[in-house]
Structure 1
Amino acid sequence: MLAVADPISSVLGIKASDPLSLMAAVEHGLPLAALDRVVHAVAPADNKFAFRIVTRSTLARRRKTWAAAKQDTASRLSAEEGTRLARLASVWTMAVSVWGDEAAARRFMFEAHPLLQGRRPVDVVLENELGRPVVEGILGRLQYGSAV
């Protein structure tokens, strides 16, 4: 049986076989490539979506540092940014599993939902950690055929 971290790690493009190693990777600082992978998967047509996770100026500075010195810790995401990204990757992974393909999962993530008081699931997830279980609850009910 696969550990919970495996599908999330795959979306992030990192090696973490269990939740504790995923936590350690986030604390150490996820690479910018993880941000690029998740952004491309979740919002491929939105070239500003990454700024929902890292501010524009910070991301530009980190990309410049990364290009100049590769492997510099300044070119990694902070623990807070990495946590936000991993949270999004976790819900994205579940949405793709429930809906069966990325296009349907994307529609779910970016359309207002009545159980979220008309808010979009992606916004609820990115707002703070408390939003993730709410969206996962909706996905769980969809997965198991309950009314949503």
Structure 2
Amino acid sequence: MSAHTEVQQLGELLGLPDPAGLSHLSLSEELVHGLSISALDRLAQEVAPGDKAFPEMIVSRATLKRRRRDKRPLSAYESEKLARTAGVWRMALDVYHDEDHARRFLHQPHPLLEGRTPLALAVESSVGAEAVEHILGRLKYGSAA
């Protein structure tokens, strides 16, 4: 899978306009300007359907309520967290080929992450997301994970 295709898949997951024409640069610009609240809602439905706590992993409840009321986008920082989470979700789907299995992987504590959930670690930092992606890569290519 090419990197460009991965960026386009992220655009689709986040509901960005014209995901087919999305590049790394244009995705970066979208993140800097702030993704819409609908992007958060969309990913929440994919990664954690019915889990009202998932959006609060990205943005605090009070801030989210205020942003919804004022129809304002996520901050650049929150948008980066959301895109990072979407990337890990995309990779989990690529490994498991099944949404339920991908969700189970992301939501269950993992021994290689010192008992933390892959989802929490991926949301927390880019280094955490890389650790999760490393495990997913090992699973995809047959190494013990």
Within 1, Cα distance between the matches of 2:103 and 2:25? 28
2:60 corresponding residue in structure 1: 55
2:26 corresponding residue in structure 1: 21
Deviation of 1:128 (Å): 1.2
Could you list the runs of 5+ residues in structure 1 that have no partner in the other structure? 67-74
Supply the AA of the counterpart residue of 1:47: K
Identity %: 46
Secondary structure at the counterpart of residue 126 of structure 2: coil
Deviation of 1:92 (Å): 0.3
Tell me the TM-score normalised to structure 1 length.
Answer: 0.91
Supply the AA of the counterpart residue of 1:121: P
1:71 corresponding residue in structure 2: none
Deviation of 1:78 (Å): 0.2
Supply the AA of the counterpart residue of 1:135: V
Within 2, Cα distance between the matches of 1:64 and 1:29? 16
Instruction: Give deviations 1:103-146, integer Å, cap 9, x for gaps.
Output: 10000000111111111100111111110110000000111111
Secondary structure at the counterpart of residue 109 of structure 2: coil
Deviation of 1:49 (Å): 1.2
Deviation of 1:7 (Å): 0.8
Within 2, Cα distance between the matches of 1:43 and 1:82? 17
Q: How does 1:34-49 map to 2 (within 5 A)?
A: 34-49=39-54
Q: Does 1:133 align with 2:135?
A: no
How many residues get paired? 140
